[in-house]
Chain A
Amino acid sequence: MTLTQHVRNGWYLGAWSDEIGRTLKQRWITDIPVCFYRLPDQTVTAVEDRCPHRKYPLSLGHLDDEGTLQCDYHGYRFNGQGVCVGVAEQADRPKAALRRFPLVERDGAIWIWPGDPELADESLLPDTSWLTDPSWTHVHGVVPLKARHMLLLENLLDLTHETFLHPTSIGNAAVAATPIDVTVDGDRVGFSRRMIGIEAPPFYEKSCGLTSPVDRWQDGDFYPPGIFVLNIRVAATGTEEPDGFHMKVLYGMTPGRGNETHDFYALGRDYLIDDQELTKFQHEQQLAVMQEDVDALEAQEIMYATDPGGTAESSIKSDLAALRGRRAVAKMLAREQRAQQDARIPHSRASV
C-alpha cells in the first residue's frame, strides 16, 4: 500500500520564507497549483494559480507595488484578498475571486493548509523555534523528488536504511542492529533508537570531532500528513545526554503534482554555530545523503508505479513506525473523503 492520493486537511511546508518575495512563485501542492507572493506589508499570500477567467497561471502575470495581481492573459486584476478588482476590457468589475489558502509564517518557514480552511489549526504545527534560536544555526533548502510522498515518509520513519543506503556517511551496522521504540499520540507517530557505545559514523565523527565509541540517539516524530522532525544527539560514550552534541533535522514532505514531492529540509546544530567550515561541510553532506535517498526513492517509485499488484509486501519489525505512519495518513485521507461525501463542501472562497 502506497498512497498516491493526498491528504489536504493538514499543514505542509509550502516554502521557505526566503524563497518568497515580490515576485510570483508557482509551486504545486497536493495537486493544486499555488501562487505564492508577498503584499506590500510583507505578509505572504498563496492563491490557487489559475485565473478564474480562462485558467491561465497567475504566476505568469505581474504584481504591482500596491499588491495587485494581474493575469497576463486578459488582464484580470486581484487585490490582496484575492477579489477581482477589474479587467482592462470593460468598466464593470467581473464577479471573480481567487481561492486563498490558510498560511502560517513562522521561524522562516511558510506552512500551507491546502484543505478546508475551517479546519486549519496552528497548534498542529511542530516547534520550529530552533530555526531562529540564536544558540542554534541551520541550513535549509528544498530538493525535488520524483516519487510519491509516502515513499519519503517511510524512508524517514525507518532509518535502518541508513545502514545500507548511506554506509559512507551517516549509516553503519549499529542503526539496523538497534531496535526502535514506537509511540503513537493521536495521529502522531514517534520512534526512538538508542545506540550506545557504537562506532561513530563518518559524518558524526567529522561533525562533532568525536572518535569511537560514541552514543547516538535518534528520536523521530512524524506530524501527519507531511512533517517529520528528527532529534539527533551524539556524545562520547558515557557523556551525560545534555552535554552531547545536538542536531535536528526537519523535513517537509510536501506532495506536489502527481507522484512528485517537494523534499524540504533544514539541518540545525547547537554547537560551533559560528564555524562556517562546519556549516558548509554539513550542508554538503546533507545534500549528498538526500541525493542517495532521492536516487533510491525514484527507483522505488518506478517499481511501485509499475507493480501489477497481487503480491504482498514483506514487512519486518523495524517497519513498525513506517507502517503506523502509513496508517495515520490513510486514516486522515479516509476521514477527509468521508467528510467530502457527507457534506460536498464547496471550496471556500473569499467573499465576492
Chain B
Amino acid sequence: MDLNTLWFVLIAILYIGFFILEGFDYGVGILLPFLGKDDQQRRQIINTIGPFWDGNEVWLITAGGATFAAFPHWYATLFSGFYLALLLILLALILRGVAFEFRSKDENPLWRSLWDWAIFIGSAIPALLFGVAFGNLVRGVPIDANMQYVGTFFDLLNPYALVAGLASLITFTLHGAIFLSLRTDDEVLTAARSAARRLWLPTVIVLATLWVYTYFATDILERLGINPGVIPLIGMIAMLGTGYMLRRGWDGWAFVGTAISIAAAVITMFIILYPRVMISSLNPEWSLTIYNASSSPYTLRLMAIIAVIFVPIVLGYQAWTYWVFRHRVTREQRLEY
C-alpha cells in the first residue's frame, strides 16, 4: 500500500470512528424531546452521553485536520464547495455543544426547553447533512479543471443525496435509541427499546432504497459490477441481525449490529470513491484523487508515523472512558449537571 492509499484508509477509519461514536450521540440528541417526558428523564438521557460527546466530536476535528494535512486540495475543494452545508453543520454543532453545558444551569423551564430543542436541531441537522455530503461525494459534483467546485448549494440537494441524508439520519437515530437502551433504566429504558424496535424496519427500508439507488446514481456498476462485494452485504446482514437482537432484548448485540452497518456503509462509500476523493460530474479527468490532491510524500510519511504512534493511545484512553462509565444512568443516582 502506498502512502496516499494509507492516508485514504486512515481518513476512512476516522470517519468510521466519528459516525459510530458521534452517530449514537446524534441519535440520543434527536430522541431527547420525544423520549424524555419530564425534566429528570431528559437529564437522564443527556447524561448517558454527557461524558462522551465532546471526545466523540474530536473524531470529526481530527478527520478534518488529517484531510487538510494529507489531501489539502480535497480539504479546500470540499469545504469551499459545500460552503453553506458546512456552515449549517457548524452552526448546529455550536448550538448543540453549548446546549449540553448550558441547559441545566438554570431551572427556568423556558430556558431548558430552548436548549433541549437546540440539542435536537443541533443533532438532527448534522446527522442529515453528513449523509447528504457523502451522497454527493460518491455521486459526483461539478468540479472544473482547476479543482474548483462550480455548482450551487441547491445542486447538493439532489434526490440521491437526500436519500443518503435520510439514511444517515434514521440510522443514527436507531443507533442512539439502542445506546439509550444500554445506558438507562425505568421508563426511559422502556421508551428507548420501543423506539428502537419501531425505527428498525423503516431504517432497513431506507438503507435498502439507498443501496439500490446507488447502482443508478453512481458509477459503481461500471467500476465494480453487479456484485456489491462482501462489505455492503455484511452491513445489510448486521442491520437485519439488529432487528432480531432487538426482538430478543439483546441490546448490546443490537448496538454492535448498528455499529457494523455504519462502518460497512462508510467503507462502501470509500470503496466507490477510491482512488478518487471527489468525483467531478463534468469530466472524470477533473476528479480529485488521492494522488493529485495529496500533500508531498515527506508530509504523508511524517504524518503516518505520528498517526501510527498516537491513534492507538487515543483509542486506549477513549475505550477506558467507556469502561469508567459502563454503568447505567439511573434515576436514583444524583445526576450531575
Answer yes or no: are A and B bound together in one complex: no
Q: Interface of A with B (CB < 8 Å)?
A: none
Interface residues of B (CB under 8 A from A): none
